[in-house]
Amino acid sequence: MIDVKNLTYQYPGTEKQAIRGISFSILKGEIFGFLGPSGSGKSTTQKILFKLLSGYEGQAQIDNREVRNWSNDLYTKIGVGFELPNHYLKLTALENLSFFKNFYQHTHNPMELLERVGLKEHAHRKVGDFSKGMKMRLNFVRSFLHDPEILFLDEPTSGLDPVTAKVVKDIILELRTKGKTIFITTHQMHDAEQLCDRVAFIVDGEIKTMDSPENLKIRHSHRSLEVLFRNQDAKEVFNLDGLGQNESFLNKLKQHEIETIHSREATLDDIFIQVTGKSLDA
Ligand SMILES: Nc1ncnc2c1ncn2[C@@H]1O[C@H](COP(=O)(O)OP(=O)(O)OP(=O)(O)O)[C@@H](O)[C@H]1O
Ligand SMILES: [Mg+2]
């Protein structure tokens, strides 16, 4: 559905390329996540793909057609959830959706969408009076109002409380079951793990690594077991390999009760820090 090869982009008037020769493909029905520090080029890549930025070099194809060759038909095929919501603040939530509904032949029912994200009782309120999270939810449902095949979501759960974030994530997963292709960017490693079939880590405009969250975790795993024995102050760490023959571990097991026991899989947070060399709030 999305095919990017050696994509490069430099904003006019800047010294440095924001995107430096990246390549990736996203299959139909796949949720693909772009993870990376602030300023690494996540939004820029998405903006090239939905034709907001022109003058890129390399290949950027949507459904086998180069983005620059798409007419406005592209916007029937794709839906876009912008990083910063842009609504008509003087209009109500329902009026906002109804306005965009007019651009398309086929759409979902706006009121049903508002209900899905807990905005039904606010449907007739001016969006200017909405909280940030309410605007984000409206922005999210607007992105797939016209039932697009491909959805670009820039930080879809940013600024949402855990319950609302779960509602949004459940809808994203439901859209995948309908065969939609979804490209998200996020700083939330936990969300990426729950949602994405594959993720790419992008740093300074380059993709550093790309795989499923499961494979990444196995590859970066510590292969160790952390045990806190009862009445002991500190946890002990044992190698998972050959654990059944590890005399010191087996003797400890015979002599002590266990308080807690955990294998130490790498989390996506660990991998983010390893791959990008930056902390999560960088
Ligand atoms: N309109 C613009 N003009 C010039 N430079 C820009 C513009 N927009 C972004 N950049 C630069 O391009 C680079 C990539 O920015 P981008 O917005 O793609 O990052 P991001 O990964 O989406 O970051 P964040 O996580 O903060 O949203 C940054 O160095 C940024 O300063
Ligand atoms: Mg961004």
Tell me which H or E stretch contains 106. Answer: none
Q: Do residue 55 and residue 164 come from a single domain?
A: yes
State in Å: Cα 39 to ligand 1 middle. 5
The residue whose CA is least distant from atom 3 of ligand 1 is: 11
The position carrying tokens 């709030």 is 281
What is the 8-class DSSP label of residue 244? Answer: G
Q: Could you tell me the CATH number of the domain that includes residue 191?
A: 3.40.50.300
Which ranges in the chain belong to alpha helices (H)?
42-49, 74-77, 93-101, 110-116, 132-143, 162-177, 189-195, 213-219, 247-255, 268-276
Q: Is 243 left (phi over 0), alpha (psi -120 to 50) or beta?
A: alpha
Q: Do residue 14 and residue 147 come from a single domain?
A: yes
Q: Do residue 237 and residue 126 come from a single domain?
A: no
Q: Does residue 273 belong to any structural domain of this protein?
A: no
CA gap 185, 81 in Å, rounded: 11
Share of the chain above pLDDT 90, in %: 77
Which of 22, 43, 53, 153 maximizes ligand 1 atoms within 8 Å of its Cβ, making it the mutation to test the pocket?
A: 43
CA gap 30, 5 in Å, rounded: 18
Ligand 1 binding pocket includes 12 (Cβ within 6 Å): no
Q: Does residue 155 belong to any structural domain of this protein?
A: yes
Q: Do residue 108 and residue 55 come from a single domain?
A: yes
HSE-CB at 17 with a 13 A cutoff on CA atoms is: 15
The domain of 243 spans: 223-264
Model confidence at 281, pLDDT cuts 50, 70, 90, reads low
* 280: nearest Cα among 189, 155, 183: 189
Share of the chain above pLDDT 70, in %: 98
Model confidence at 282, pLDDT cuts 50, 70, 90, reads very low
Residue 274 pLDDT more than 80?
Answer: yes
Residue 170 pLDDT more than 50?
Answer: yes
Q: What is the pLDDT of residue 280?
A: 57
Report the atom number in ligand 1 closest to the C-alpha of 47.
18
What mean pLDDT, rounded, does the chain reach? 92
Residue 9 pLDDT more than 90?
Answer: yes
HSE-CB at 215 with a 13 A cutoff on CA atoms is: 9
Ligand 1 binding pocket includes 84 (Cβ within 6 Å): no
Read off the pLDDT of each residue in 161-185 and give the average, rounded to a whole number.
Answer: 95
Burial class from Cβ neighbours inside 10 Å (0-12, 13-18, 19+) for residue 134 reads buried
Residue 278 pLDDT more than 90?
Answer: no
Q: Do residue 77 and residue 195 come from a single domain?
A: yes
Q: What is the pTM of this model?
A: 0.86
Residue 242 pLDDT more than 70?
Answer: yes
CB-based contacts of 240, cutoff 8 Å, min separation 6: 223, 224, 225, 263
Read off the pLDDT of each residue in 68-85 and give the average, rounded to a whole number.
Answer: 89
Residue 272 pLDDT more than 50?
Answer: yes
Q: Do residue 199 and residue 230 come from a single domain?
A: no
Ligand 1 binding pocket includes 201 (Cβ within 6 Å): no
Report the atom number in ligand 1 closest to the C-alpha of 202.
21
Q: Do residue 60 and residue 26 come from a single domain?
A: yes
In what order do the strands lie in the sheet containing 224-229? 236-239, 224-229, 258-263
Ligand 1 binding pocket includes 88 (Cβ within 6 Å): no
Q: Do residue 206 and residue 115 come from a single domain?
A: yes
* 133: nearest Cα among 107, 155, 152: 155
Read off the pLDDT of each residue in 208-229 and give the average, rounded to a whole number.
Answer: 91
Considering every ligand atom shown, identify the ligand nearest to the alpha carbon of residue 35 and give its number. Answer: 1
What is the 8-class DSSP label of residue 122? Answer: G
Model confidence at 151, pLDDT cuts 50, 70, 90, reads very high
Q: Does residue 173 belong to any structural domain of this protein?
A: yes
Residue 5 pLDDT more than 70?
Answer: yes
State in Å: Cα 86 to ligand 2 middle. 15
Contact 187, 280 (CB under 8 A): yes
Q: Do residue 230 and residue 144 come from a single domain?
A: no
The tally of domains found in the chain comes to 2
* 213: nearest Cα among 264, 263, 268: 268
Q: Do residue 179 and residue 237 come from a single domain?
A: no
Q: Do residue 238 and residue 198 come from a single domain?
A: no
Q: What is the pLDDT of residue 220?
A: 85
Q: Do residue 240 and residue 182 come from a single domain?
A: no
